[in-house]
Amino acid sequence: MSETNRLIIRQLRPSDRHQAEALHEQLLADEFEFLVGRGERESFADYVARQLANEEGRDIPEGWVRAGFYVAERDGELLGRLGVRYELNAFLASVAGHLGYGVGPAYRRQGVAEALARFGLRRLHVSGVDQALITCDEANTGSRATIEKVGGRLDRQQPTVRRHDGGTTLRFWAPTG
């Protein structure tokens, strides 16, 4: 792979605004929020600043956990994003897990989600988390394949959870080391 088509995973920047907003719109079709938790009137710069603060454990709202926001970029193009939750609250421990990722429709089936998931596992590892909970909807073949590729195995005690919306979530654990 040459220097020009290298995949880079980095934190969100204010200059990502237009591409990130476009990916947000595109991924709504998959019920995935690229700019998750962005306030209706929140400027993009404020949103970015909030993500960086959350990664550092600052200004975390009551009931939320420390989390990082990373994006995958290649040749200046934003391809997808990763959320890393460094701790689990009740909702994360049941349904959402430690990692969340979404890839723009134009960039799928190129290993981007796998690269993001592997990066997230490394971030968790250096933060002292040995086993990562990663979940997906039972019908999400691509996400399930990604989780299994990075070593995820179904939770023995509670492999599935029924959500409030009637859907079923699969719960996997993957080693971070």
Ligand X SMILES: CC(C)(COP(=O)(O)OP(=O)(O)OC[C@H]1O[C@@H](n2cnc3c(N)ncnc32)[C@H](O)[C@@H]1OP(=O)(O)O)[C@@H](O)C(=O)NCCC(=O)NCCS
Question: Among all chains, which residue has been given the structure tokens 């939770």?
Answer: 155
Q: How far is the CB of 55 from ligand X (least distance, A)?
A: 20
CB 104 within 8 A of CB 23: yes
Report if residue 176 touches ligand X, rule: CB under 6 A: no
By rule CB under 6 A, what count of residues binds ligand X? Answer: 20
Query: What H or E segment, with its residue span, contains residue 113?
Result: helix 112-126
Question: Quick one: which of 119, 116, 97 has its CA closest to 107?
Answer: 116
Site string for ligand X, 114-133 (x = CB under 6 A): x-------------------
Report if residue 146 touches ligand X, rule: CB under 6 A: yes
Report if residue 141 touches ligand X, rule: CB under 6 A: yes
Question: Quick one: which of 147, 19, 122 has its CA closest to 73?
Answer: 19
CA dist 43 and 54 (Å) reads 17
The nearer residue to ligand X, 48 or 79, going by C-beta atoms, is 79
CA dist 21 and 127 (Å) reads 30
Site string for ligand X, 41-80 (x = CB under 6 A): ----------------------------------------
Report if residue 136 touches ligand X, rule: CB under 6 A: yes
Report if residue 103 touches ligand X, rule: CB under 6 A: yes
And the tokens for 93? 């421990």
- Residue ranges in contact with ligand X by CB under 6 A: 30, 32, 101-103, 108-114, 136, 140-143, 145-146, 149
